[in-house]
Amino acid sequence: MQAFTYYMPTRVICGRDCVLSRGALFAELGRSALIVTGKSSAKNGALADVLSALEANGQTATVFDRVTPNPTVACVREGVALLQAAGADFVVAVGGGSPMDAAKAIATLAVQPRSDEEVFAGGYEARALPMAHVPTTAGTGSEVTPYAILTNDAGQTKTSITSSAMFPRLAFLDGKYMAHLPVSSTVNTALDAFSHAVEGMLSRNATPMSDALAKESLRILYPLLQKTAGELTIDERDELLYASMLAGMTIAQSGTTAVHGMGYSLTYFYGIDHGRANGLLLGGTLRLCEKKKVPALEEILSACSDTLDGVCATLDALLGQRESIPRARLEEFAVRAMSNKNIKKSAYEPTAEEVKTIFFSAFPAS
Ligand code: NAP
Ligand code: FE
**What is the predicted pLDDT for the residue at 104?**
98
Rounded to an integer, what distance in angstroms lies between the CA atom of residue 165 and that of residue 172?
A: 18
Q: CB atoms < 10 A from the CB of 16, how many?
A: 12
**What is the predicted pLDDT for the residue at 139?**
98
pTM exceeds 0.85: yes
Rounded to an integer, what distance in angstroms lies between the CA atom of residue 33 and that of residue 134?
A: 14
For residues 99 and 36, the answer to whether their CB atoms sit within 8 Å is: yes
In single-letter form, the type of residue at position 348 comes to: Y
Residue identifier of the C-alpha nearest atom 25 of ligand 1: 189
Neighbours of ion ligand 2 (CB under 5 A): 192
SS3 264: helix
SS3 219: helix
127 CA to middle of ligand 1, Å?
25
Can you give the length of the chain in residues? 366
For residues 142 and 101, the answer to whether their CB atoms sit within 8 Å is: yes
204 CA to middle of ligand 2, Å?
17
- Give the start-to-end residue ranges of the domains of the chain: 11-178, 183-362
CATH class of the domain at 11-178: alpha beta
Atom of ligand 1 nearest to the CA of 275: 25
In single-letter form, the type of residue at position 96 comes to: G
Question: What tens-digit pLDDT sequence spans the chain (366 residues)?
Answer: 889 999 999 999 999 999 999 999 999 999 999 999 999 999 999 999 999 999 999 999 999 999 999 999 999 999 999 999 999 999 999 999 999 999 999 999 999 999 999 999 999 999 999 999 999 999 999 999 999 999 999 999 999 999 999 999 999 999 999 999 999 999 999 999 999 999 999 999 999 999 999 999 999 999 999 999 999 999 999 999 999 999 999 999 999 999 999 999 999 999 999 999 999 999 999 999 999 999 999 999 999 999 999 999 999 999 999 999 999 999 999 999 999 999 999 999 999 999 999 999 999 886
Rounded to an integer, what distance in angstroms lies between the CA atom of residue 196 and that of residue 179?
A: 23
For residues 334 and 360, the answer to whether their CB atoms sit within 8 Å is: no
For residues 252 and 214, the answer to whether their CB atoms sit within 8 Å is: no
Residue identifier of the C-alpha nearest atom 30 of ligand 1: 97
Q: CB of 260 closer than 6 A to ligand 1?
A: no
Q: Which residues pair with 214 in a beta bridge?
A: none
Rounded to an integer, what distance in angstroms lies between the CA atom of residue 144 and that of residue 170?
A: 9
CATH class of the domain at 183-362: mainly alpha
For residues 7 and 164, the answer to whether their CB atoms sit within 8 Å is: yes
Rounded to an integer, what distance in angstroms lies between the CA atom of residue 190 and that of residue 268?
A: 20
Q: CB of 275 closer than 6 A to ligand 1?
A: yes
**What is the predicted pLDDT for the residue at 365?**
83
Q: CB atoms < 10 A from the CB of 17, how many?
A: 13
